[in-house]
Homo-oligomer: A and B are copies of this chain.
Amino acid sequence: MPVLRSIRERFERERPLEGVTVAACLHVTAETANLVRALRAGGAEVALAAANPLSTQDDVADALREEAEVHGHRGEDVDAYVAGIKALAESAPQIALDDGGDLIAATHRKLTGGIEETTTGLVRLRAMELGCPVLAVNEALAERAFNDRYGTGQSTLDGIVRATNVLLAGRTLVVIGYGWTGRGVALRARGAGASVIVCEVDPLRALEARMEGFEVMPALEAAERGDIFVTVTGARGVLRGEHFARMKDGAVLANAGHFDVEIDLDELRAAATGGVREVLPLVEQHDLGDGRRLHLLASGRVVNLAAAQGHPAEVMDLSFALQALATEHLVREGAALAPGVNAVPPELDRQVAALKLAALGVQIDALTDEQRAYLSSWAPPS
């Protein structure tokens, strides 16, 4: 995680979090441990509780206990989770890092600021009258444009290939939803030799897909053409009975959206009058009873996590780097921010991007003084 490491090194020198207490309700993993260490390098006291008992890596938790207050063990029950949140609140933090909104909900009246990294958490927090500013890190451009597009784009196809061993070249792949992740899936599928069809309800996005050279059409029409379908819309019931009824024998169905509601599993099972059987790990064959069989991957759950290794490590690096910078930003500027959910300032995106370029060994230009003056004047040339 070279980007987070470079932030940690700067934090060690500058100590921007000196005297600050940070409470974090996050997945307790090796990556989180790196974040904790970066915050501590900046001078913070850190208290950590597990956002999800299933993801807790106990060895990591134990190692971290030497440096921070850590609550939670793998497989603990809901009461222990609640106790963890409560303990964090009692640490009287200025800053709360959250995954789901519970910690911020419990502490917002006394915080300088909060940071929330899930869409679900933001929905909840936006419905509240918050007593402090909360930065929506998962809506930052560095997250969306890079992690969703390039990270999830690659890992979604990786998941499909691992599950099926399909050769993408020569196949027709249908991407439903042309947001950042959909763009990434479409780009990578074309790059792998597939012929790509995009389905999208927003005309601006649909037009962009078309101008990028993809075919664009309604999903019902695409249903007849596709060999592989990837849903990534955020909506539910995107592929339904009427779509299954038109698909070709052997079609593969995968979901890259957050929840497993994009492919209508009830209607798929109802259509499978010939039965359902697992033909490969993570591949369920649905026999439509008329000679056609559809292959559902990972039970409709998000295929890059279920069938591949999820995000490449460097994607996590950008995410955690953004959290570290957001923490610093709240310490410095939190008092000036309006209570409620705030966008991450573009300047933080730019800092993360600059550090990432350095990690890739890429150098770029700076404006000359004369250019800066010219651009800020914006007068037409004499």
By a beta-carbon cutoff of 8 Å, the part of chain A in contact with chain B is 119-120, 123, 141-142, 145-146, 149-151, 153-154, 158, 161-162, 165-171, 187-188, 190-196, 199-204, 206-208, 210-221, 234-238, 248, 259-261, 309, 312-315, 346, 349-351, 353-354, 356-357, 360-368, 370-371, 374-375, 378-381
Contact of A213 among B195, B357, B367 (CB under 8 A): B195
- Report which residue of A196, A219, A238, A371 has the largest number of chain B beta carbons within 10 angstroms of its beta carbon: A371
The answer on a CB contact under 8 Å between B146 and A154 is no
Chain B residue at smallest Cβ distance from A354: B203
Minimal beta-carbon separation of A282 from chain B (angstroms): 14
3 residue pairs, one from A and one from B, having the closest CB atoms:
A191-B191, A203-B354, A167-B312
Contact A370 B207 (CB under 8 A): no
A264 to B315, CA, bound (A): 33
Chain copies in complex = 4
In the bound complex, do residue A217 and residue B363 qualify as a contact, i.e. CB atoms below 8 Å apart? yes
The smallest C-beta distance from A26 to any residue of chain B, in angstroms, reads: 18
The answer on a CB contact under 8 Å between A207 and B357 is yes
Given contacts A217-B363, A237-B368, A315-B167, contact A378 B207 (CB under 8 A): no
The answer to whether B142 and A154 touch across the interface, beta carbons within 8 angstroms, is no
Of A120, A196, A365, the most chain B CB neighbours within 10 A belong to A365
Distance (whole angstroms) from the CB of A214 to the closest CB of chain B: 7
